[in-house]
């Protein structure tokens, strides 16, 4: 794990959280959109909050795909759950919202889970997999993997 | 009756999103380390190669199914039931699926972590 890879994992957490928040903020302007009003859903993209949210979610998806290219799914996933913690901490320390003891316990459990995974190995070595199906398919990938 | 609908939506969300995650992860492992490829070949070949992987498109479709199931689930059930239940069950389902289909080594450390995160997500929503 290099510094650049940790940055990508941080990108997953930050971009997904910020993207979701911007989308939620934008959808508030639009009110409830029913499934019968699909053109309304398309026009939602014109709302600047929604547009910015979609851009950030694209950034999230790129980081997520990049991380999956060098780390196990079971390693990357907990990184996405750190977003819940991030939102709660921002709500508490910046917007001074009350956080119930149950939520603090939830935050602690998620953080502990993420810490456990992050302290372990990030990828299953190829020789420990049971099949070779997952082997990269061309010379560059073989070169990159080794 | 509403509960049955909400829980079937939750089941569908968990199934579709873990299928999607497994397919996307499988695709990206076949593509290889994106950062290294980018350095060697430039960004367009990397994007081209990702898009040319058939399982990537399947993974995206599964994610779309998960997203629409979430929308339907939200119209039948409570936000406070559907979102945490599907999110936390997806963590556990993904650990099982990654072990079976991706042959990842899910040791005790990752099992405990998956359960901690799943429990934490439920508590955050209470």
Tens-digit pLDDT profile for residues A67-84: 999 999 999 988 778 888
List CB contacts of B5: < 8 A, sequence separation 6 or more: B76, B77
Residue A36 pLDDT > 70:
no
**Between residues 103 and 142 of chain A, which touch chain B (CB distance below 8 Å)?**
103, 105-114, 116-117, 119-120, 124, 128-131, 134, 136-137, 140-141
Say whether A106 and B122 touch across the interface (CB within 8 A).
yes
Other beta carbons within 10 angstroms of residue A126's beta carbon come to: 14
Q: What is the pTM of this model?
A: 0.83
Q: Among B32, B34, B113, select the one facing A113 at the smallest CB separation.
A: B113
Question: DSSP per residue over B10-53, as a string?
Answer: HHHHHHHHHHHHHHHHHHHHHH--HHHHHHHH-HHHHHHHHHT-
Residue B2 pLDDT > 80:
no
Contact B20, B62 (CB under 8 A): yes
Residue B45 pLDDT > 80:
yes
CA distances (Å), A115 to each of A85, A92, A107, A124, B125, in order?
A: 13, 22, 12, 18, 21
CA distances (Å), A128 to each of B33, B95, B106, in order?
A: 18, 17, 12
> How far does CA B76 lie from the centroid of its chain?
22
ipTM: 0.86
DSSP state of B108: H
């Amino acid at each position: 794990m290099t510094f650049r890879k940790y940055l990508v994992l941080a990108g997953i957490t930050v971009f997904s959280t910020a993207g979701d928040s911007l989308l939620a903020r934008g959808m508030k302007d639009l009110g409830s959109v029913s499934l019968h009003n699909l053109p309304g859903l398309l026009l939602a993209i014109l709302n600047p909050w929604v547009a910015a949210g979609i851009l950030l979610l694209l950034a999230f998806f790129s980081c997520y795909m990049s991380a999956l290219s060098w780390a196990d799914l079971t390693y990357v996933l907990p990184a996405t759950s750190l977003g819940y913690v991030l939102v709660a901490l921002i709500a508490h320390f910046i917007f001074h919202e009350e956080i119930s003891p149950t939520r603090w316990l939830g935050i602690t459990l998620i953080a502990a889970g993420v810490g456990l995974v992050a302290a372990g190995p990030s990828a299953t070595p190829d020789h420990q997999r049971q099949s070779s199906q997952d082997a990269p398919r061309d010379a560059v990938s073989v070169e990159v993997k080794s | 009756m509403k509960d049955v609908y909400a829980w079937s939506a939750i089941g569908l969300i968990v199934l579709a999103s873990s299928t999607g995650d497994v397919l996307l992860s499988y695709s990206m492992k076949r593509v290889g380390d994106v950062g290294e490829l980018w350095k060697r070949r430039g960004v367009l070949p990397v994007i081209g190669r990702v898009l040319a992987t058939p399982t990537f498109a399947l993974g995206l479709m599964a994610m779309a199914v998960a997203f629409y199931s979430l929308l339907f689930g939200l119209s039948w059930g409570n936000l406070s039931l559907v979102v945490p239940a599907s999110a936390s069950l997806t963590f556990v389902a993904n650990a099982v699926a990654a072990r079976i289909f991706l042959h990842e080594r899910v040791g005790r450390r990752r099992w405990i972590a998956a359960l901690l995160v799943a429990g934490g997500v439920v508590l955050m929503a209470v």
